[in-house]
Structure 1
C-alpha cells in the first residue's frame, strides 16, 4: 500500500514538472476565438494574443521590479494548475447594460525568481478580450515598493492607434493638469511618440487590419498608482508608465507600495470588431464588486446646469431657482449649482433652494474644489474634501440640507495617494447618501462598479471647452465621434452635452440634431445638459418631449455603424423602447442605409433629423421594414425612437 502511495506521489510530481516545462502555455476564450500564449524566453516572462488566428498582441513582456526583488528575469514556473471557468453576474445603473453576465477562462501561473520569491500572473480570457494581473502570495509585515512595471503591448508596425496624450502634471490653467483633457490623435502609426512626455492615457484604441484592441486597466484598490502608456513605443511596443512626481496627494506616496499579499490592478485588452469594443463591459467585469451598502439613493437621471453657457455670473439665487424650474419643466431629476455657491449664494439660501427643488421633485447637486497643493484654482468651497473629518462634517451638513450629490473638481493626478483620495471621498459620500461626480479628474477605470454612488466623471475635453475657444468648437464633431469607441466605452462620462442655441463669442459648428444625439450616444449616470432654459423654449415641442422622456438608465446596447472620428451610430434600449443615435464626425453629408432587422418587432418608429434651415429640426415617421435610409448633414446627426 505504501509503495502504491509513493508511486502516486511520484507520478503527480512528474506531472506537475511536465506541466511547468511544457510551454508556451495556452489559454483560450470560452468560444475558442481568442488565444493567449504565455511562456519564458531566457527566464523572462512573455505573452502573446491572437484572435481568430490573427495576431493582435505580438510577443510582449510581463514582469515587475520591487525594491527588494526582481521579477523581470531569472524566472521559472513553479506550477501551472488546471484552468478554471469564471462566471459573474451583476447589475449596474450607470452602464450601457443593466444586467451583465461575465464568463471567462481563468489561468494561474505560479512563478518564482532566482532568489526563490514568489509571484503569480493570473489571466482571464473572455470572448471579448483578455485581462491579467500580478499577485504576490507571500506575507510581509513591512511595506514593499514596486519601482517598475515591465508590462508591454506590442502591435504590428502596420497597426494604427487612436491615442490621447497625457498632460504633464501641474500644467494648464491654475496647474490643474493632468485631467485627461487632450484630443485623441486619429489613426496614427504605432510607434509614433506622444507629443507630451507624460505619455498616452487609457483607453488606448488600436486597429490591426480588420481587428481592434482597446487597452485599459481597473482602478487600484488603494495599493497601486494609476498608470498610462509611456511616450516612446519603439517598433510598436507600448510600455506601462507610472505617474510624474507631482501627481501625489500632499505628503502621500506616488508609486505602488503595499504589504504582502498584494494584487495589482487588472490590465485589460478588449479584442474584436468595433461592435465588440462598443458593446463590451470588460472595464467593469473585472472591477471589484460593489461594496456592501445601501445604494437605493443612487438614481440616474438628467440635470439642468447654468454654468457651461452662462458661466460664473449665473451662480446666483435667482438664476438657480430658474434652472430648478427648468429641470422640473423638462422632467429632469437634478439641478447642478456650480463653483462659488458658498460665497455668492450661501448655505442658508442653498437650503432654501433645496427645499424649493424638493417641492418640484428636483434634487440639488453642489460643486466643490478638491483643493490641496496640486491646484491654484481660486474657486470655492475649498479644503472641505481634504480630510476624513472635514468631509464627514460637510457631508453630514449636506445630507441634513437634502442635497443629493457633489461635484468635486481639479484633482492632481494618478499617484497612489491621489487614487486613494478618490476612494476616500466616495466612502464618506456613501455613508451620507450622496452621489458623486469627479471633474478635472482621472479615468474612473470601473470604479463605479465598486462604489455605485460614483455616477459620472469628466476625464474628457467636454462641452465647456467648445465654449472657451473657437478651435475647440471647430473639431468638436470629430472629437465626439471618437469618444464612443474610446473614453466612454466602459466608464460614465460627464461631457455635459447638448446646445441648440448660441454660444457667446463662438460660432457653433455642429447641427441641432447632432447635439440632440449626444445625450443618448454618451453614457453618464447623471447627464448634465448644457442647454439653457431660454434656448430650450425655442425648441419644437417634439424635441422637448423627447428630452422629457429620455431614459435615466439603459438596459441594452447595439452597435449599428461607425468609425472613430468619422461616424458613430449606436442603439440603446430602456424598457420597451430603443433609441438609435447617430452623429457625423465629418463635414460631408452622408446617406446611410441602416440595418434595422434586429428591431423588427419595434414597428412604431419616428425620426428626428436636421431641418432645412441652419440649427433647425425636422421629424418624419419611419417605415417598419428591415432597412432605413437616413441622410446626415455634415457635422449633423439624428435620433430614432422605436417602440412596440
Structure 2
C-alpha cells in the first residue's frame, strides 16, 4: 500500500498515485492513479481482496476532454462525513451515515480541471465529478466503469428500448432480471442494463446505483457491451426527453454529477445498506404531519378500467376502512367516469371514514400514445400549481402520475418539478411508468413510492408473467427495492381472472412485509379478503406503515428471502421461497431469543393458511415451494 501523501505535498509533486482512502472501519479501501496512458483509474478492495478491478474515470464535455491526457495535481485532506436523517419510507427510520471523503483534482493537457470526490463508508463507496469553468458546460460522455473479475456473476435487468411497448410507453424499468449470469454477458437490447445492478465477486456482493438526482443531470444505466467484465456508464436514448427538452446534462459555470454508488460487503451488509439514500440530498421543506405512510385499497389491479366509477370506489373506501387502512386510490379516467365534483364528494366520504383519497394522472404530453386521462394537466408549473391546488381544496391527499418518457435530463427535471410543486400543495406522490427514484424519497418526503418494476399488474395480463413472478419477487429485495420504495402493488389471495396463480397464499402475505413502499397499494379485493381467516385479516389490519430497523436473516437473489423488520418494540419476520421444491432453513434469530411469536404460513392447499407458535433463537423452518410466511413478535 502507498503511504499517505500530505495534501500540501500533493499539490507540488504531481504524483501519478493517490494514497488509499479507507472506510471508517478500515475494511474497504479505494486507490486512485494516473495510468501510463494518462487516464484516471480507481480500484476497490475489501479486506485486501480486489472487488472492483482497475476501472476508468473521467468526463467528456464539449470543448474539454477530462478523460485523457490527465495528471493528478491535488488531493484534499481526508474529511469525516457525519449525517443523521430520518426516512419515513425506507428500511430504517433513523439513519446515521458515516464516511471518509477525499477530493482529487486532475487537469488535462489544456490545464482544464476536474474534481473527483470519493466517499468510503463501511458499506461501500461513492464517487462524483465536479467541473467549474466559465460559460456553458455541456456533457458528451462519461468514462466511468466498473470492472469485475471474469469469475464474477451478475443479476441484471435489461433496459427496454425507448418508444417500444404498449402505446410507446417504454422505458419504465419493467423487465425481468437475468439471474446469476456471467459478467460480460451482453444485454439483450442496445439500451443496456438498469440500476440497481447486483454482482457477486468472490465472497463480496456489490450493488451499483446512483443518487442525488436534482434535475440537472440525466439518469444513467450500464451499457449493453461489457466485454471483459467492464461495465461502463451509458446515457439515455434520444426520445427519452420532455418534448423539446435536453437529453444530457448541461449547465452554466458548474457541472456536478450524481453520486455513483457502489454498495459492497456480505449479502447481509448490502441488504441492510442505506447508501442509496445516504448520498441523496437532504429533505426539502414539507409539513411532517402530512408525511403519512400507509396502506391503500385499489380496484384497478384486478377489476381494471370498468371499476373506476363512483359506486365501486365508494365500496373500496368502505373496504379500506374495514381493513383499518389509510387510503383508496382512484385510477385512470376518473375525470371522465366520475368527474371533479363527484371526486370531491368521494374525498369527503373517504374523510368521514378516516381514509385519504388518491387520484391518478397521466404525465404525458407528446411522448407516447396513451389516452388515459386526466392528461396534459401537469406539463407546466402553472398547470401543476392550479391542478394541485384544486385537488388539495377537494380533499385529495395525493397523486399517482403515470407514463413518463424515460431518463433524459429534461425528463428528470420534470420529475423533480412535479415533486416540488406537489410538496408546495401538500400532496403525496407516487410515480408509475417511471424511472428508478434514486434516493428521491429522502430529498422529497412527499414521494411515497414509485413503480419502476414489473409489478403484479403484469401477472394479471399473461400466464407467462404469472409463472415468472416467483423468481422475480425473490429478486426484488436485493435489487429494485434495495434502496428505493417500490409500488409493486402486492398481495392476491383469491382468483385472478383467466390466470392460474403461481404463488401460494403465504408467499402473497409475506410480500406485505418484504416489499417496501411508503404507501402499499394492496391488489386484493373485498371479495378476496372475505375468504381469508380472521387472523390473516387481523394481521393486515395492524401491519405497521413504516419500519424502524431491518435485519437480513437469510436469502439468495431470485431464490429465497427472509428479512426481519422492526416497528416500535415489535418485530415482523417474513420469507418467501421461489424454488419448485420445499426449502428447509436453519434460521439464526438470536436477536429474538427469549421472545415468542405467532407464525402464519401456508397450509396443505395452495389457498390455505395455518397458524402456529414460533420462537426466537435458532429455529428450523420449512417454506413450501412458491410459499412463504410471516411471524410477529410483539
Please give the TM-score of this superposition, normalised by the length of structure 2.
0.98
Question: What is residue 634 of structure 1 aligned with on the other side?
Answer: 625
Residue by residue, what CA displacement relative to the aligned partner does 1:309-337 show, whole Å, maximum 9, x if unpaired?
00111101111000000000000000000
Match of 2:558 among 554, 565, 577: 565
1:98 equivalent in alignment to 2:93: yes
Question: Is the Cα–Cα contact under 8 Å of residues 223 and 256 in structure 1 kept in the other structure?
Answer: yes
1:62 equivalent in alignment to 2:57: yes
Give the distance between the partners of 1:126 and 1:333, measured in 2 at CA: 37
Question: What is residue 28 of structure 1 aligned with on the other side?
Answer: 22
State how 1:99-248 maps to structure 2 within 5 Å: 99-138=94-133, 140=134, 142-248=135-241
Match of 1:608 among 600, 604, 622: 600
Question: Is the Cα–Cα contact under 8 Å of residues 590 and 634 in structure 1 kept in the other structure?
Answer: yes
Question: What is residue 392 of structure 1 aligned with on the other side?
Answer: 385
Give the distance between the partners of 1:26 and 1:279, measured in 2 at CA: 26
Residue by residue, what CA displacement relative to the aligned partner does 1:164-206 show, whole Å, maximum 9, x if unpaired?
0000001000000000000010000000100011000000000
State how 1:467-506 maps to structure 2 within 5 Å: 467-506=460-499
Question: What is residue 517 of structure 1 aligned with on the other side?
Answer: 510
Question: Is the Cα–Cα contact under 8 Å of residues 217 and 250 in structure 2 kept in the other structure?
Answer: yes
Greater mean alpha carbon deviation, residues 183-192 or residues 211-220: 211-220
1:39 equivalent in alignment to 2:30: no
Residue by residue, what CA displacement relative to the aligned partner does 1:404-459 show, whole Å, maximum 9, x if unpaired?
00000000000000000000101110011000000000000001111110110000
Residue by residue, what CA displacement relative to the aligned partner does 1:69-106 show, whole Å, maximum 9, x if unpaired?
10011211221121111010000100100000000010
Where structure 1 has 5 or more consecutive residues not aligned to the other structure, the ranges are 1-10
Question: Is the Cα–Cα contact under 8 Å of residues 20 and 80 in structure 1 kept in the other structure?
Answer: no
Shift of 1:17: 4.4
Partner of 2:287, secondary structure, is coil
Give the distance between the partners of 1:287 and 1:12, measured in 2 at CA: 30
Give the distance between the partners of 2:107 and 2:16, measured in 1 at CA: 17
Question: Is the Cα–Cα contact under 8 Å of residues 428 and 448 in structure 2 kept in the other structure?
Answer: yes
Shift of 1:15: 2.6
Match of 2:437 among 431, 444, 465: 444
Give the distance between the partners of 2:89 and 2:578, measured in 1 at CA: 26
1:456 equivalent in alignment to 2:444: no
Match of 1:321 among 307, 314, 321: 314
State how 1:325-340 maps to structure 2 within 5 Å: 325-340=318-333
Shift of 1:251: 0.6
* RMSD value, Cα: 1.3
Shift of 1:124: 0.1
Give the distance between the partners of 1:308 and 1:439, measured in 2 at CA: 13
Question: What is residue 256 of structure 1 aligned with on the other side?
Answer: 249
Question: Is the Cα–Cα contact under 8 Å of residues 7 and 75 in structure 2 kept in the other structure?
Answer: no
Partner of 1:57, secondary structure, is strand
Shift of 1:19: 5.9
Question: What is residue 6 of structure 1 aligned with on the other side?
Answer: none
Structure 1 residues 19 and 514 mapped into 2: Cα distance closer, same or farther (>3 Å)?
A: farther
Give the distance between the partners of 1:166 and 1:295, measured in 2 at CA: 36
Question: What is residue 364 of structure 1 aligned with on the other side?
Answer: 357
Partner of 1:480, secondary structure, is helix
Question: Is the Cα–Cα contact under 8 Å of residues 577 and 642 in structure 1 kept in the other structure?
Answer: yes
Question: What is residue 543 of structure 1 aligned with on the other side?
Answer: 536
Residue by residue, what CA displacement relative to the aligned partner does 1:290-314 show, whole Å, maximum 9, x if unpaired?
1133242110000000000001111
Where structure 2 has 5 or more consecutive residues not aligned to the other structure, the ranges are none
Give the distance between the partners of 2:343 and 2:9, measured in 1 at CA: 70
Question: Is the Cα–Cα contact under 8 Å of residues 19 and 80 in structure 1 kept in the other structure?
Answer: no
Shift of 1:12: 9.3
Give the distance between the partners of 2:92 and 2:392, measured in 1 at CA: 30
Give the distance between the partners of 1:415 and 1:613, measured in 2 at CA: 48
Shift of 1:18: 5.7
Residue by residue, what CA displacement relative to the aligned partner does 1:44-84 show, whole Å, maximum 9, x if unpaired?
10000011111110010000010111001121122112111
Question: Is the Cα–Cα contact under 8 Å of residues 297 and 433 in structure 1 kept in the other structure?
Answer: yes
Residue by residue, what CA displacement relative to the aligned partner does 1:516-551 show, whole Å, maximum 9, x if unpaired?
000100000000000001110111000000000010
Question: Is the Cα–Cα contact under 8 Å of residues 295 and 433 in structure 1 kept in the other structure?
Answer: no
Structure 1 residues 629 and 264 mapped into 2: Cα distance closer, same or farther (>3 Å)?
A: same
Give the distance between the partners of 1:181 and 1:136, measured in 2 at CA: 34
Give the distance between the partners of 2:298 and 2:403, measured in 1 at CA: 19
Structure 1 residues 26 and 369 mapped into 2: Cα distance closer, same or farther (>3 Å)?
A: same
Shift of 1:219: 4.1
After the TM superposition, which parts of structure 1 deviate over 6 Å for at least 4 consecutive aligned residues?
11-14
Give the distance between the partners of 1:46 and 1:639, measured in 2 at CA: 46
Give the distance between the partners of 1:402 and 1:388, measured in 2 at CA: 21
Greater mean alpha carbon deviation, residues 396-405 or residues 369-378: 369-378
Partner of 1:197, secondary structure, is coil
Partner of 1:232, secondary structure, is coil
Give the distance between the partners of 2:8 and 2:250, measured in 1 at CA: 37
Partner of 1:468, secondary structure, is coil
State how 1:586-605 maps to structure 2 within 5 Å: 586-601=579-594, 603-605=595-597
Partner of 2:190, secondary structure, is coil
Shift of 1:590: 1.2
Shift of 1:14: 7.5
State how 1:75-94 maps to structure 2 within 5 Å: 75-94=70-89
1:267 equivalent in alignment to 2:255: no
Give the distance between the partners of 2:132 and 2:401, measured in 1 at CA: 37
Question: Is the Cα–Cα contact under 8 Å of residues 30 and 43 in structure 2 kept in the other structure?
Answer: yes
Partner of 2:482, secondary structure, is coil
Please give the TM-score of this superposition, normalised by the length of structure 1.
0.96
